[in-house]
Amino acid sequence: MNINIKKIRIGVIFGGRSVEHSISIQSAKNIINNLNRIKYEIIPIKIDDEGVFHFGKELDPQSHDFLSDFEFKNCKFSSIPSNMMLPTIALKQFNTYVSSPIDVAFPVLHGTYGEDGAIQGLLKYLDIPFVGTDILGSAVSMDKDITKKLLKESGIACAKSITVHLIEKNRIKYDKIISYLGTPIFIKPSNLGSSIGISKVYSLEEFYQAIKIAFSYSDKIILEECIIGKEMECAVLGNEFPMSSVVGEIICKDNFYSYNAKYTDKTISTLKIPANISIQVSEEIRQIAIYIFKILHCAGMARIDFFLKNNNKILVNEINTIPGFTSSSMYPKLWYATGLPYNKLLDQLINLAIIRFNKNKTNNKLIKTILT
């Protein structure tokens, strides 16, 4: 007997106005092509670099320029009128551009407006369950300065750093910086990922050029000591009771793990999973990763990056609440090595989003009952 089971409609949101737009497209392509077609109906939702939203519906994806870099499998697509931005659309209008309302949103928007709480706030306003961390956790995790302050307050060791705001730009003195941080140093925007805008600085000549580059992406930058040691990454999955993956190591032949090393030239870096470290150190990193996940109010998923010094001291580098899902990305690779295949990982993330949404809905109803 054939039983028709209603598919969950997943709105995969990608692209966006971030400098990480192209990486988001790569991540979304992998997610879409690994979602189980028996369980899910997939609605691609592309935000172009002007902020215009395009929604999946009934048209052939090959007929649209903005999908020319995709190889969708049985995905249907249509665009919202080009002069309309999603924030101007009323709640009821949001779902008129798809054949029926989406059940869960899966934001794959790396960087600005996607990983900083912006899209999460919009989805909460629209009362749509979504994969990943909520507004608060997204905002504090995106800002490296705020992240460091919260972690240090909680007793978590981070690399030494100095935060500089744009208004203080002309007061930065090279000699004072290196007397505290040593050389070389890293200069990076406070709120970007994918190693965009980051420079490794060895001299005075490079210093002010790196400052200029970092400030071109953000009005707040981080000047950070260079740690001699290994680069480690650990993936976290869950809501109130998160679990961590095996630990992976990034072995990079370049100056540092740059955008080029991550996405362009695959010969520059190697991902070693699991990392060649002791069981004791691996377990310590995994426990710290879970602790950080909770401290920063994360949910669903996160990838946490560490430095392991030669004396086995562990320092936290940063956290990504919407980690990459490209073919070379660590997050899905770490879970695969832990025993969770790509498609099952996506199932878990969607399920966690639904559970959190339903719990919050129940709590809100309870609060209303108490107050009335």
pLDDT at 365: 60
Residue 64 scores a pLDDT above 70:
no
Identify the residue with better confidence: 195 or 237. 237
Residue 22 scores a pLDDT above 90:
no
Token readout for 76 is 């249907």
pLDDT at 194: 52
Q: Which of 236, 259, 260 is nearest to 246 (CA)?
A: 236
pLDDT (mean) for 281-299: 97
Residue 68 scores a pLDDT above 90:
no
pLDDT at 96: 53
pLDDT at 94: 53
d(CA 372, CA 368): 6
pLDDT at 48: 80
pLDDT (mean) for 58-80: 42
Tens digits of per-residue pLDDT, 72-87?
444 444 444 444 444 4
d(CA 165, CA 219): 6
Strand partners of residue 248: 233
Tens digits of per-residue pLDDT, 316-327?
999 999 999 987
pLDDT at 251: 87
In this structure, of 32-36, 50-54, 309-313, 347-351, the range with the lowest mean pLDDT score is 50-54
Identify the residue with better confidence: 53 or 345. 345
pLDDT at 36: 92
Please give the domain boundaries of the chain with CATH numbers for all domains. Answer: 8-130 (3.40.50.20), 160-225 (3.30.1490.20), 229-349 (3.30.470.20)
CB-neighbour burial class of residue 124 (10 A; exposed 0-12, middle 13-18, buried 19+): middle
pLDDT at 256: 47
Please give the mean pLDDT across all residues of the chain.
Answer: 83
d(CA 18, CA 50): 10
Residue 71 scores a pLDDT above 50:
no
Neighbour count for residue 217 (Cβ, 10 Å): 18
Q: Indicate the pLDDT class of residue 370, thresholds 50, 70 and 90.
A: low
Token readout for 38 is 């028996």
